[in-house]
Amino acid sequence: MKTIERSRYGPASCYLSPTDGFDPKYNDVKLPINEKYYNQLTTAGVPPLLANHIAHIFIRDPLVVYRDRVQLNDDNDVDHFENIQSSNWQSVRFKPPPHGTSIGWRVEFRTMELMFTDFENAAVVTFICLMTRMIQKGYLRDMYMPISKVNENMKTAEKRDSVNSQKFWFRSNFLEKGNTQVSLMSINEIMNGSKETGFQGLIPLMRNFLSAEKVESEIVQKVEKYFDLISGRASGKLMTNATWIRKIVTTHKAYQGDSIVSDEIGYDLLKMVSHIEATKPTELFGDIF
């Protein structure tokens, strides 16, 4: 393949590791790869899935090369690898251990936007951490679905007010192994569950997880506030930051309905954002505080 159909910015291109429950059919999007590097990696014993990923990100040239980092000893320095690795900005980034450190293998979740407040950021980080713990401990048994559906979800998420108006592909039987069932669901259904379909929802499952793991009550009380925030925004009861920004701009006295954010509108918006930590607008936070 000589055509690169997607940019460096986008959803994850493929699954990297054949963990329990993985089927190669989930990597259902053919990627352009650097054949030379793929052959070199697999010959050296790198697993094919991982070699495929690395050979894919190495189809591109580096964006930045520092003058004093060109002539390096690749046996002792990984800057040449990191130059490509760190300039592919996918929704999830696989990160090998930095050379010469005790840091282990990592996965970086990159899809979340930076929120207005520390509380919101903590809620998102806590949610992701709980998801990983539940997967590791077998509470969420099989989250795999075709990577093409992941790509489609990212395109859907880019639409205005998609959290309330769109549906996303999601694994509907992730509590059991095999027999993959993928369904279109709203974010409200995915997060809060649905009585109509019987889908439990991630937040109710997380509450069960905290109870089963006998997490201290003080921690649970704090996490419950995070759940209230995420649940409220998923259901539409609370505004997302994006919706709140659009409301401020479109209702501003200086807005002309022409999609132009003037200096006056931008200044007033930033001034309001700078006070959110103190004012905690109910449309964003409800009665959480």
Predicted TM-score of the model (pTM): 0.89
pLDDT digits (tens, 9 = 90+) for 275-289: 999 999 999 999 998
Q: Which domain holds residue 74?
A: 24-88
- What's the pLDDT score for residue 17? 82
- Same domain, yes or no: 193 and 203: yes
How many CB atoms are located within 10 Å of the residue 191 CB? Answer: 22
Interval 55-92: pLDDT, tens: 999 998 888 888 888 888 888 888 888 888 888 888 99
Same-domain check for residues 217 and 250: no
- Answer for the pair 169, 204: CB distance below 8 angstroms, yes or no: no
Q: What is the CATH number of the domain that holds 254?
A: 1.10.8.960
Does residue 287 share a domain with residue 204? no
Is 109 contained in some domain? no
Q: Are residues 160 and 249 in the same domain?
A: no
What is the rounded CA–CA span in Å between residue 82 and residue 67? 16
Query: Would residue 143 count as lying in a domain?
Result: yes
DSSP string, the chain: -----S-SSBS--------TT--GGG--S-----HHHHHHHHHTT--HHHHHHHHHHTTS--S---GGGSS--TTT--HHHHHHHTT--BSEEEEPPPTTSS---EEEE--SPPPSSHHHHHHHHHHHHHHHHHHHTTSS------HHHHHHHHHHHTSTTHHHH--EEEETTTTSSSS--EEEE-HHHHHH--TTT----HHHHHHHHHHHTT--HHHHHHHHHHHHHHHHHHHTSS--HHHHHHHHHHTSTT--SSS---HHHHHHHHHHHHTHHHH--HHHHTT--
User: What does the alpha-carbon distance between residue 183 and residue 204 come to, in Å, rounded to a whole number?
Assistant: 19
- 248 and 234 part of one domain: no
Give the CA dihedral 176, 182, 183, 184, nearest 10 degrees: 130
In a domain, 253, yes or no: yes
Our measurement of the distance from residue 131's CA atom to the centroid of its chain's CA atoms, rounded to an integer in Å, reads: 12
DSSP label at 240? Answer: -
Q: Is residue 111 part of a domain?
A: no
Burial of 273 (0-12, 13-18, 19+ CB in 10 A): middle
Q: What integer pLDDT is reported at residue 77 of this predicted model?
A: 82
Q: Which residues of the chain have pLDDT under 70?
A: 1-2
Q: How many domains are contained in the chain? A: 3
pLDDT for the residue numbered 2: 67
